[in-house]
Amino acid sequence: MLGFCCGSIWFCPVLLVLMLAVCGGNVVIQRDAQFDMTYYDTVTSDNQTIYSYNHTVSRNKTEGVRVSVELLSESAPSPVLFVVRQKQAVLSFQVPLILRGLYQRKYQYTQVGRTLCQPPTKALAETQFFYVDVSTLSSAGVHYQLRVSRVDSFTLQTDKKFSFNATPSQPQFFKYVFPDGVDTVIVKVNSQKNFPCSVMSIQDIQCPVYDLDNNVAFIGMYQTMTTTAAITVQRKDFPSNSFYVVVVVKTEDEACGGPLRFYPLLPDELLDAGNRSKTLDVIVSPAINSEVYVMGMLFCLGIFLSFYLLTFLVACVESKRMNRKREGLLNADASPAETGKASVSPYEYGSFADNGSTLSSEAVTDSLASTDGNYGCMGSETFKRRIIAAHHVAIRIDRSLESVARSRQESLSSVEEDDYDTLVDIDSDKNIVRTKKFLCVSDLSRKDKRILSKKYQIYFWNIATIAVFYALPVIQLVITYQTVVNVTGNQDICYYNFLCAHPLGALSSFNNILSNLGYVLLGLLFLLIILQRDILHKRALERNDSTALECGIPKHFGLYYAMGTALMMEGLLSACYHVCPNYTNFQFDTSFMYMIAGLCMLKLYQKRHPDINASAYSAYACLAAVIFFSVLGVVFGKGNTVFWIVFSVIHILATMLLSTQLYYMGRWRLDSGILRRMLNVIYTDCIRQCSGPMYIDRMVLLVMGNIVNWSLAAYGLIKRPNDFASYLLAIAICNLLLYFAFYIIMKLRSGERIQCLALVCILFTAVVWGFALFFFFQGLSTWQKTPAESREHNRECILLSFFDDHDIWHFLSSIAMFGSFLVLLTMDDDLDTVQRDKIYVF
């Protein structure tokens, strides 16, 4: 009989209630229920209640339905199970609802509210039934309250704000349909309260909808939030041209940076979650269209290509000025013809060539061509004699220059830099020269220029090699990061400014990547400027120009090439960092900043100390150590007292060693006798007789540098900043600015002047740096906090509806770095005609 009854269920739907009662021994009560009515009832293990609802579903209109349940009995030995059966979906939950937190903490909720999934219908209008089954295993009666209601404004409207309440057991979700002509929208959810922590999710139109704390991350895109959340949604990702906006309140606030609750005393102890209701607003707005993308890209290219045009115009003006100056000198050389001399003796020109004049055959020919008008008024015989004389002069000058160049190359072909450093007499000479009280550039530029040029070219080749080996794995890693974000939908991985993050293809924030183009383009422009100067200088050396050989700061361009390459790599790696910015890859954005700061300091020092500047290998080894400490600080430095003590000690020791190296111009040794020599100096200079420092200027710089670095070390040890990479970068920038200020002051103090172009570069760069730092400190996101707390700093775009404050920082900082490089390049142009034995070292 039992088998007959149970088998007949499928064939006799009319007798469903009777069969269940006979087969299972339970009383099943079915009721026709109405929307927006509250039902109070009792359920036991002996009875089961089924509420039957029907409503009309339209293809052109989606109507939300919400089931709200509250358990009225204070304590029940068994929970009450609610099962909602729809045409194409089933939703079940128990009351009290148990949600887990960290460390297996359990929170129970006696009030539960769930919105039913609404699968799309193909018919224009269709009446659908759904049933709410209520059952329990408790023998005692459990009182409950049930209410099913329609949801107003279930479908969100474009640019219309909608407010609602949510709790962990009463999540909310709404539907949005893309309007015609809109391919991308940005969904924003805001709240006036930071806590409780909540989650906003974007899910496709399918059942079931994952709207609980323990399953909201299963599908779609999601991000935690305190007061602000924003997700950009594209039509191409949703075939149905619509999606659900799901908002869930979490059971705990630890994911949003809130306090962590106490540990449960017993493993299965149920905790009271308290009042975790949160009021939120949701608004869906159209994002930018393709025209804004094109305008942003054209704007970015236009800004930096204008620097190419400006550089070309300045180069043309400078070339015209130099041509006029050269013509003036040639006219001055041709003045005897203008005063009425009938002929020019070739022996007079020959004497100039023998005395090392810079005239060449081309110069003589140009001189005659420039005075062609004057010869026109003379007889043809006189003109022929002058042409023959000039021809003899050109031949003698060319032969003289060739013999000088040949003898110079033969004498230096086997010279290496180490030859000077290993001879005892030369070393003794270095001790005499470099310990003079007043040094000139000629004292520190005695090594062969070709050898030094090759030495400094190693800077460029090394940094090019470093760039290739560093950039390739970085690019691979950030592509992996972006893929993980796209596949998992977890937008807490990357710290974007979500209110101004414009996607393009697989990239989530294309504008932050595009704005780094300035570093690459301006770095390339700087390399072209250096190449042009390098070519002109080599031509001057080839014709034995005495000004190039004996005047001005020695020209070595290897460090400049390295600086330009570092600027380009900074743009590339900053773009890689902004593919998915977070604390694990922040070193990508800062590594070449350390390089740039170090290379700029080396270039400043090299200007007046070309013979004793650091080699590329030692310099890059030190920079590698800096980056190594940067990684250690990011990983282990947060709140680690031991790390900060070790780093501060190393920082102070490195400062003292570098100070000693700079003060004694490298004429000291770090060996077992260092302490004895230190005590000897202290006894002779401080105790036996109190005498001031021999090199006062150097001492002033080093004292100031030690004060700054000791202060920074003390600040780090006391405050222990979370952003160790920025702290390390601040140390490098402070030292660079200190050395640059000292250089400018000493330059002016020595009676030198700053030319107009260099002065304009200094003023322009200072102003741009000021504006750049203003936008940098706006702080649109920070990986020092949780992703939810970081989004509290997000702000809307401020330029062309495409770029935010950080993009403007990229624009201005790239221009400022380019200007800083030009300052280093041009600040000593006033010394190009000054003998090196008259240029002081400081």
User: pLDDT for 386-426, tens place per residue?
Assistant: 555 554 444 455 544 444 444 444 444 444 444 444 444 44
| DSSP class per residue in 175-200 | EEEPPTT--EEEEEEEES---S-EEE
CB neighbourhood size of 422 (10 A): 9
* CB contact at 8 A, 278 and 172: no
| DSSP class per residue in 393-456 | HHHHHHHHHHHHHHHHHHHHTT--HHHHHH-HHHHHHHHHHHT-SS-BGGGG--S-HHHHHHHH
Q: Is 185 exposed, middle or buried (0-12, 13-18, 19+ CB in 10 A)?
A: buried
Residue closest to 584 by CA, chosen among 642, 634, 624, 540? 634
Q: What is the pLDDT of residue 570?
A: 94
36: Cβ contacts below 8 Å, ≥ 6 apart: 147, 148, 149, 150
**CA neighbours within 13 Å on the CB side: how many for 621?**
5
* CB contact at 8 A, 572 and 471: yes
Q: Is 357 exposed, middle or buried (0-12, 13-18, 19+ CB in 10 A)?
A: middle
Which helix (H) or strand (E) segment is 681 a member of? helix 674-682
CA-CA distance, 133 to 129, in Å (whole number)? 13
- Residue intervals of the chain classified under CATH 2.60.120.380 are 25-151, 153-287
Tokens encoding 361: 């055959």
Residues in the chain: 842
Pairing of strands 27-32, 37-43: unpaired
CATH level 2 (architecture), domain 25-151 = Sandwich (2.60)
**CA neighbours within 13 Å on the CB side: how many for 292?**
17
Which helix (H) or strand (E) segment is 254 a member of? none
Question: What is residue 583's DSSP assignment?
Answer: T
CB neighbourhood size of 211 (10 A): 23
Tokens encoding 711: 């202060």
CA-CA distance, 627 to 591, in Å (whole number)? 6
Locate tokens 């004429």: which residue? 667
Angle CA 769–293–588, to nearest 5: 50
Tokens encoding 172: 């909310």
CB neighbourhood size of 692 (10 A): 7
Ranges of residues in the chain whose predicted pLDDT is under 70: 1-25, 59, 120, 261-269, 329-330, 332-438, 665-678, 681-695
Q: What is the CATH number of domain 153-287?
A: 2.60.120.380
CA-CA distance, 203 to 218, in Å (whole number)? 10
Q: Which residues pair with 827 in a beta bridge?
A: none
Long-range contacts of 598-603 (CB under 8 A, 24+ apart): 598/622, 598/623, 598/626, 598/732, 599/459, 599/559, 599/562, 599/563, 599/566, 600/563, 600/736, 600/740, 600/820, 600/821, 600/824, 601/735, 601/736, 601/739, 602/559, 603/559, 603/560, 603/563, 603/824
Pairing of strands 27-32, 47-58: parallel
CA-CA distance, 422 to 430, in Å (whole number)? 11
* CB contact at 8 A, 697 and 705: no
The residue type at 706? N
Residue 258 backbone class (left: φ over 0; alpha: ψ -120 to 50; beta: rest): beta
Cis previous bond, 96, omega within 30: yes
Greatest Cα-to-Cα distance within the chain, rounded to the nearest angstrom: 144
The full 3-state SS of 22-55, as one line of letters, equals HHHCCEEEEEECCCCEEEEEEECCCEEEEEEEEE
Locate tokens 């300035």: which residue? 518
CA-CA distance, 681 to 208, in Å (whole number)? 82
Tokens encoding 350: 């020959």
CA-CA distance, 223 to 664, in Å (whole number)? 58
Residue closest to 707 by CA, chosen among 726, 734, 670? 734
pTM of the model: 0.80
pLDDT tens figures, 258-280: 877 665 555 666 777 778 899 99
Cis previous bond, 196, omega within 30: yes
